[in-house]
Amino acid sequence: MAGPVPELEDRAVACAERLCDADRVLLASHIDADGLTSAAIAASALERAGIPFETVFEKQLDEDAIAEIAATDYETVLFTDFGSGQLDIIGDHEAAGDLTPVIADHHQPADRETEFHLNPLLVGINGAAELSGAGASYVLARALAAVSSEATSPSVAADGGEETDSSRSSSAPRSDGGIVTASGVANARADNRDLAALAVVGAVGDMQASGGELHGANQRIVDEGVDAGVLETGKDLALYGKQTRPLPKLLEYATDVHIPGISNDENGALRFLDGLDLELKRDGEWRRWAGLTNEEKRTVASALVRRAVSSGVPATKIDGLVSTAYVLSEEPVGSELRDASEFSTLLNATARYERADVGLAVCLGDRNEALDRARQLLREHRRNLSNGIDLVTREGATQAEHVQWFHASDEIRETIVGIVAGMAMGNAGISRSKPIIAFAEKNEDEVKVSARGTHSLVRKGLDLSVVMGEASRAVGGDGGGHDVAAGATVPTGQEEAFIERADEIVGEQLS
Ligand SMILES: [Mn+2]
């Protein structure tokens, strides 16, 4: 069979065969949007292949978590969106006969191999930009469908029977035509191509749509999803909230490309829309982008570009106003689940508040209780963010020479303190000319540290992953991340020593 990523095909088939040989499987996955979609893809594929399984989630796959997994009486463990980086520890348990690992991951592998290991980095594919954990799980799911249908009844897969021309066409614009979609999706279920939609949500959630679209192996998964009738793509306004936000809020909150007089400007956004001769409300409610006609969308988009040009936004930034949208065509218009980016945000909200069960249930199709709960978690998350930003802005940051910092203790959750710090930058008392470092209590003995910079500081030499790594290790902790955003954990009481060291390193980087 031809899977979506030929380079990974042999590995995918080997993993799939091992899973099919198992009596039952323990599925262990990471808790974030990519990890949740990875788990949902793997769970669907295992269920369809008739392999009994149970699912567990871990925030961090550390030594203790692995030991717990190894101590269960599951012989076969499928790790998704983590596992590669922990192969040194997992390998010890494997050697001891505790478990057989099957891994679908995209993170940097530890210096140890194992037989059933599916990771783009092992075959020269970029795991940060071209394939996510959900993508790796999707490659496995496709192989699992092929391997398990061979094993049971070889003719089942093509149950579509009289396939019409239109059900195969990938280029013709699809209407919501019932029959065509229905038979297309039935076939897609048989070979797991319908799961491509979740793989795209995972990739988008892992920030792999760099420059506004997915690339490489991710793009091949997108193509399969479009073919299968579960995805639609096209150029669209690059704003967050096209499905759910009322038009004025969509524009007001769009700050990636700052448009003077609209971004962060409630009245400005309203005045801009008022000037467009558009029906802005229907039945007394603000309309949403997803509900506009193409003609209306063009009207808004071109007016937005004109405004950006006339207020001096540079051309390179203006290009950023348009990007590729990934639409889950089976979800209703106006639902956040229809937009890959909004879907992943919803999943992240469940993950941040340790409700992986809720996120997973939504991915698996629960549109009642779990979806309601997820929406509630997202609302609470937004409220927590805005309370956190208010708190930081009110109390201000302490200025060191090269960094600024604040300590939220238990007033801001450690899982969101980094986002809060980043969003507060630029508010009164929080400079954008120095990186910001935020502390929050993690538990009795440990403090979470989050650091955020700006792209202009990064261009001057700032690399927060180095800062967080070195400064935390200097005080008995550990950390890392990206140049513009990084994190660490340090022992409680070491905050000042940490700041001193971090201040020195940032000073050296920016000198
Ligand atoms: Mn991931």
| DSSP states of 272-309 | HHHTT----EETTEE-BGGGS-HHHHHHHHHHHHHHHH
Residue 88 lies in a domain: yes
Residue 448 is inside which H or E element, if any? strand 446-452
Angle at 337 between CA 412 and CA 303, to 5 degrees: 90
Identify any residues that bridge with 409 across adjacent strands, giving them in sequence order: none
CATH code assigned at 500? 3.10.310.40
Asked whether residue 279 falls in the same domain as residue 243, the answer is yes
**167 and 47 within one domain:** yes
pLDDT at 264: 85
* Phi, psi for residue 426 in degrees, rounded to 5: 100, -20
> Across the chain, what does the average pLDDT equal?
91
Task: Name the DSSP class of 406.
Answer: E
Shared domain for 95 and 205, answered yes or no, is: yes
Q: For residue 129, is it within any domain?
A: yes
Share of the chain above pLDDT 70, in %: 93
Beta strands in 177-287, from DSSP E residues, in sequence order:
231-237, 281-282, 285-286
Are 31 and 161 part of one and the same domain?
yes
Instruction: State the pLDDT at residue 161.
Output: 40
Distance 139 CA to ligand 1 centre (A): 14
pLDDT score recorded for residue 153: 54
Reported as a pLDDT band with limits 50, 70 and 90, residue 180 is very low
- Report whether pLDDT(164) > 50: no
Query: What pLDDT is recorded for position 91?
Result: 97
The domain boundary residue, chosen from 369, 386, 416:
369
For 103, phi then psi, to 5°, come to: -120, 130
User: Does the structure show a pLDDT above 60 at 172?
Assistant: no
Based on the fold, state whether residues 336 and 454 are members of the same structural domain.
Answer: no
Confidence of residue 482 (pLDDT cuts 50, 70, 90): confident
Same domain as 60, residue 190? yes
Last residue of a domain, one of 182, 211, 229: 229
Give the distance (Å) from ligand 1 centre to CA of residue 37.
Answer: 10
DSSP 8-class letter at 50: T
- What digits encode the pLDDT tens for the residues 248-279? 999 998 877 888 899 889 999 999 999 998 99
Residue 169's pLDDT is 38
Q: Do residues 136 and 82 both lie within one domain?
A: yes
114 and 50 in a common domain:
yes
User: How many angstroms is it from 327 CA to the middle of ligand 1?
Assistant: 21
**Residue 185 binned pLDDT confidence (cut-offs 50, 70, 90):** low
Q: Assess whether pLDDT exceeds 50 at residue 175.
A: no
Predicted confidence at residue 509, as pLDDT, reads 97
Residues 143, 11: Cα–Cα separation, whole Å: 9
Say if residue 347 is in the same domain as residue 402.
no
For residues 83, 328, 16, 10, the Cα torsion angle rounded to the nearest 10 degrees is -90
CA distance 381 to 374: 10
Instruction: Flag whether 390 is in a domain.
Output: no
pLDDT band at 165 (very low <50, low <70, confident <90, very high): very low
What are the pLDDT digits (tens) for 68-93? 999 999 999 999 999 999 999 999 99
Q: What are the tens digits of pLDDT across the range 206-233? A: 999 988 899 999 999 999 999 999 999 9
Claim to verify: residue 197 and residue 302 sit in the same structural domain: no
Percent of the chain with pLDDT over 90: 80
Q: Quick check: is 384 in a domain? A: no
Backbone angles phi, psi at 161, to 5 degrees: 65, -115
**Ligand 1 centre and the CA of 188: distance in Å?**
24
CB 405 within 8 A of CB 499: yes
Written as six digits, the tokens of 169 are 């066409």
Q: Is 247 part of any domain?
A: yes
Q: Are strands 322-328 and 231-237 parallel, antiparallel or unpaired?
A: antiparallel
- 274 and 204 assigned to the same domain: no
pLDDT of residue 258: 84
Q: Give the model's pLDDT for residue 223.
A: 97
Largest CA distance in the chain: 72
Phi and psi, residue 456, nearest 5°: -70, -35
For residue 358, the tally of other CB atoms under 10 A from its CB is: 25
Ligand 1 centroid distance, CA of 294 (Å) = 34
In a domain, 459, yes or no: yes
Look at the chain and report how many structural domains it folds into: 3
Distance from the CA of 206 to the center of ligand 1, in angstroms?
6
CA 4 to ligand 1 center in whole angstroms = 18
Q: Which residue has the tokens 């899973």?
A: 19
C-alpha 82 – ligand 1 centre gap (Å): 7
pLDDT bin (cut points 50, 70, 90) of residue 187 is confident
Mean pLDDT for the stretch of residues 436-452: 96
Around Cβ 423, how many Cβ atoms within 10 Å?
19
Stretch 341-359: mean pLDDT, rounded?
A: 95
Are 28 and 57 a contacting pair, CB within 8 Å? yes
Domain range spanning residue 424? 396-510
Rounded to two decimals, what is the model's pTM? 0.86
Q: Which residues of 213-240 are buried (b: 16+ CB within 10 A; e: fewer)?
A: bbbbbbbbbbebbbbbbbbebeebbbbb
Is the Cβ–Cβ distance between 3 and 105 less than 8 Å? Answer: no
- Rounded to an integer, the average pLDDT of 352-377 is 97
Among the candidates 199, 229, 259, a domain finishes at 229
For residue 220, what is the domain's CATH number? 3.90.1640.30
Residue 201 lies in a domain: yes
Say which range, 53-62, 125-134, 142-151, has the weakest mean pLDDT. Answer: 142-151
Would residue 426 be called left, alpha or beta, if left means φ above 0 and alpha means ψ between -120 and 50 degrees? left
Tokens for 321, please give them. Answer: 């106003």
Rounded to 5°, angle at Cα 261 from 256 and 267: 110
Per-residue pLDDT at 160 exceeds 60: no
Is the pLDDT at 173 greater than 90? The verdict is no
The verdict on 92 and 170 lying in the same domain is yes
Is residue 277 situated within a structural domain?
yes
